Amino acid sequence: MEKCKIIFQPEGKRGEFPPGTTILDAAREIGVDIEAICGGKLTCGKCQVVIEQGEENLSQMTEDERRLLDKRKAGKNYRLACVTRFYGDVVVFVPEESRGGEQIILKEGVEVSVTIDPAVKKYYLELPKPHLKDDLGDFERILNALREDYGIENVDIDYEVLKKLPDVLRESDWKVTVTIWNDREIIDVEPGYKAENVYGLAVDIGTTTVVGYLTDLRTGKILAIDSMMNPQVPYGEDVMSRITYAMQNPEGLEVLNKKIVEGINQILVNVCKEAGIKPEEVSEVTIVGNTAMHHIFLKIDPQYLAVAPYVPAIHRSHDVKARDIGIKIAKGGNVHVLPIEAGWVGADNVAVLIATEPYKRDEMCLVIDIGTNGEIVLGNRERLLSCSAAAGPALEGAHIKHGMRAATGAIERIRIDPETFEPEYKTIGNAPPRGICGSGIIDAAAELYRVGIVKKNGRFNLDLDTPRVRVVDGQPEYVIAWANETAIGHDIVITQKDIREIQLAKGAMCAGAHILMKEMGVESVDRVIVAGAFGNYIDKISALIIGLVPDVPVDRIESVGNAAGVGARLALISREKRREANEIARKVEHIKLAVHPDFEREFSMAMYFPHMDKKRYPRHEEVLKVRGAE
Amino acid sequence: MEKCKIIFQPEGKRGEFPPGTTILDAAREIGVDIEAICGGKLTCGKCQVVIEQGEENLSQMTEDERRLLDKRKAGKNYRLACVTRFYGDVVVFVPEESRGGEQIILKEGVEVSVTIDPAVKKYYLELPKPHLKDDLGDFERILNALREDYGIENVDIDYEVLKKLPDVLRESDWKVTVTIWNDREIIDVEPGYKAENVYGLAVDIGTTTVVGYLTDLRTGKILAIDSMMNPQVPYGEDVMSRITYAMQNPEGLEVLNKKIVEGINQILVNVCKEAGIKPEEVSEVTIVGNTAMHHIFLKIDPQYLAVAPYVPAIHRSHDVKARDIGIKIAKGGNVHVLPIEAGWVGADNVAVLIATEPYKRDEMCLVIDIGTNGEIVLGNRERLLSCSAAAGPALEGAHIKHGMRAATGAIERIRIDPETFEPEYKTIGNAPPRGICGSGIIDAAAELYRVGIVKKNGRFNLDLDTPRVRVVDGQPEYVIAWANETAIGHDIVITQKDIREIQLAKGAMCAGAHILMKEMGVESVDRVIVAGAFGNYIDKISALIIGLVPDVPVDRIESVGNAAGVGARLALISREKRREANEIARKVEHIKLAVHPDFEREFSMAMYFPHMDKKRYPRHEEVLKVRGAE
Domain ranges of chain B: 4-98, 119-191, 199-347, 359-392+508-607, 394-501
Q: Cβ(B44)–Cβ(B196) under 8 Å?
A: yes
- Chain A residues closer than 8 Å to B597 by CB: none
Residue among A166, A308, A315 minimizing CB distance to B137 = A315
Residue B395: what pLDDT?
A: 83
Helix axes A347-356, A575-587, angle to 10 degrees: 110
The residue among A127, A131, A135, A327 with the most chain B CBs within 10 A of its CB, best to mutate, is: A135
pLDDT of the residue at A308: 84
Contact B159 A304 (CB under 8 A): no
CA distance B202 to chain A (A): 20
User: Could you give the CA distance from residue A43 to residue B475 in angstroms, rounded to a whole number?
Assistant: 69
**Residue B395 CA from chain centroid, whole number:** 20
Low-confidence ranges of chain B (pLDDT < 50): none
Q: Are B543 and B557 a contacting pair, CB within 8 Å?
A: yes
Task: Tell me if B170 and A310 make a contact (CB, 8 A cut-off).
Answer: no
Residues of chain A below pLDDT 50 = none
pTM exceeding 0.90: no
CA-to-CA separations, A171 to A189, A191, A572, B228, B343, in angstroms, rounded:
12, 7, 31, 38, 20
B153 touches A at CB < 8 Å = no
**Among candidate residues B387, B421, B439, B414, the one with its CA nearest the CA of residue B543:** B439
- The per-residue pLDDT for A98 is 78
Residues of chain A with Cβ-Cβ distance to B135 below 8 Å are 309-311, 342-343, 590
B589 touching A, CB under 8 A? no
CA distance A388 to chain B (A): 15
The reply to whether residue B309 touches residue A135, judged by beta carbons under 8 angstroms, is yes
Other beta carbons less than 10 A from residue B399's beta carbon: 21
Peptide bond into A95 cis (omega under 30): no
Determine, for residues B159 and A324 on separate chains, whether the beta-carbon distance falls below 8 Å.
Answer: yes
Closest chain B residue to the Cα of A156, Cα to Cα:
B318
Q: Which residues pair with A157 in a beta bridge?
A: A186
- Judge: B134–A165 Cβ closer than 8 Å, yes or no: no
Grouping H, G, I as helix, E, B as strand and the rest as coil, residue B30 is: helix
A401: amino acid identity, one letter: K
- pLDDT of res. A351: 95
Output the pLDDT for position A518. Answer: 96
- pLDDT at position B36, please? 75
Report the Cα–Cα distance between both ends of chain B, in Å, rounded: 78
Whether B166 sits inside 8 A of A299 (CB atoms) is: no
**pLDDT value at residue B508:** 94
Same topology for domains B4-98 and B199-347, yes or no? no
Q: Which amino acid is at A441?
A: I
Contacts of B586 in chain A (CB under 8 A): none
- Please answer yes or no on whether B313 and A166 come within 8 Å at the CB atom: yes
A73 in B contact zone (CB under 8 Å): no
- CA contacts within 13 A on the Cβ side of A254: 4
pLDDT value of position B516? 97
Cα B614 to Cα B21, B58, B550, B618, distances in angstroms: 74, 76, 11, 7
Which residues in chain B touch residue A340, judged by CB atoms under 8 angstroms apart?
137
Residues in chain A closer than 8 A to B138 (CB atoms) = 311-314
Q: Which of A138, A160, A325 sits opposite B311 (nearest CB)?
A: A138
Contacts B304 to A, Cβ<8 Å:
166, 170
CB-nearest partner of A309 from B132, B139, B310:
B132
For residue B607, what pLDDT is reported?
A: 95
Q: How far apart are CA A38 and CA B570, in angstroms?
A: 43
H-helix or E-strand spanning residue B321: strand B318-321
Q: Residue B166 is nearest to which of A140, A304, A340, comparing CB atoms?
A: A304
Cis check for the bond before B128: say yes or no (omega within 30 of 0).
no
CB contact under 8 A, B157 and A314: yes
How far A313 CA sits from the closest chain B CA (Å)?
A: 5
The ipTM value here is 0.84
Interchain pair B314, A137: CB under 8 A = yes
Q: What's the gap in Å between the CA of B186 and the closest CA on chain A?
A: 13
Amino acid, res. B175: K
Domain A119-191: give its CATH code. Answer: 3.10.20.880
Give the B window 400-419 contacts with A, CB below 8 Å: none
Residue B150 Cα, gap to closest chain A Cα (Å) = 21
Query: Which residue in chain A has the smallest CA separation from B302?
Result: A166
Q: Which of B596-609 are b and which e, b meaning 16 or more Cβ less than 10 Å from the residue's Cβ?
A: beebeebbebbbbb
Q: Are B415 and B442 in contact (CB under 8 A)?
A: no
What pLDDT shows up at residue A408? 85
Q: Between chains, do B136 and A324 touch, taking CB under 8 Å as contact?
A: no
B625 interfaces chain A, CB cutoff of 8 Å:
no
Q: Which residues does chain A have within 8 Å of residue B593's beta carbon, measured at their own beta carbons?
A: none
Question: By the CB < 8 Å criterion, does B343 face chain A?
Answer: yes
Q: Do B300 and A162 touch (CB under 8 A)?
A: yes
Collapsed DSSP state (helix, strand, coil) of residue A3: coil
The reported pLDDT for the residue numbered A62 is 86
Record: contact B166-A301, CB cut-off 8 A: yes
How many angstroms away from the CA of B318 is the closest CA of chain A? 9
Q: Search chain A and give the residue with CA nearest B143.
A: A314
Which chain B residues are Cβ-neighbours of A315 within 8 angstroms? 136-137, 139-140
DSSP 8-state class, residue B316: S
- Looking at residue B217, its pLDDT comes to 96
Shortest Cα distance, chain A CAs vs residue B314, angstroms:
5
Measure A499 CA to nearest chain B CA, in Å: 35
Mutation target vs A (from B163, B187, B261; most A CBs, 10 A cutoff): B163
Nearest residue in B to A298, CA atom: B163
The class of domain A4-98 in CATH terms is alpha beta
Q: Chain A 528-587, CB below 8 Å of chain B: which residues?
A: none
B161, closest residue in chain A (CA to CA): A300
Q: List helix spans (H) across A179-251.
A: 239-248
CA A487, distance to chain mean position in Å, is 33
Nearest CA to A165 among B257, B312, B258?
Answer: B312
Distance of residue B363 Cα from the nearest chain A Cα, in angstroms: 29
Nearest CB among A309, A310, A314 relative to B162 is that of A314
DSSP class per residue in A489-543: SS-EEEEHHHHHHHHHHHHHHHHHHHHHHHHHT-SS-SEEEEEESSSSPPPHHHH
pLDDT at B10: 84
For residue A309, the distance in angstroms to the closest alpha carbon of chain B comes to 5
Residue of chain B whose alpha carbon sits nearest to that of A159: B320
CATH code of B199-347, in short, is 3.30.420.480
Other beta carbons within 10 angstroms of residue A628's beta carbon come to 10
Decide: A405 and A439 in contact? Cβ < 8 Å: no
What whole-number distance in Å separates Cα of residue B333 and Cα of residue B187?
Answer: 6
Answer whether A134 touches B (CB < 8 Å): yes
Chain A residues lying within 8 Å of B311, measured CB to CB: 130, 135-138, 166
Report chain B residues whose CB lies below 8 A from the CB of A318. 157, 159, 162
- Chain B touched by A3 (CB under 8 Å): no
Least CB–CB distance from A309: residue in B130, B159, B298: B130
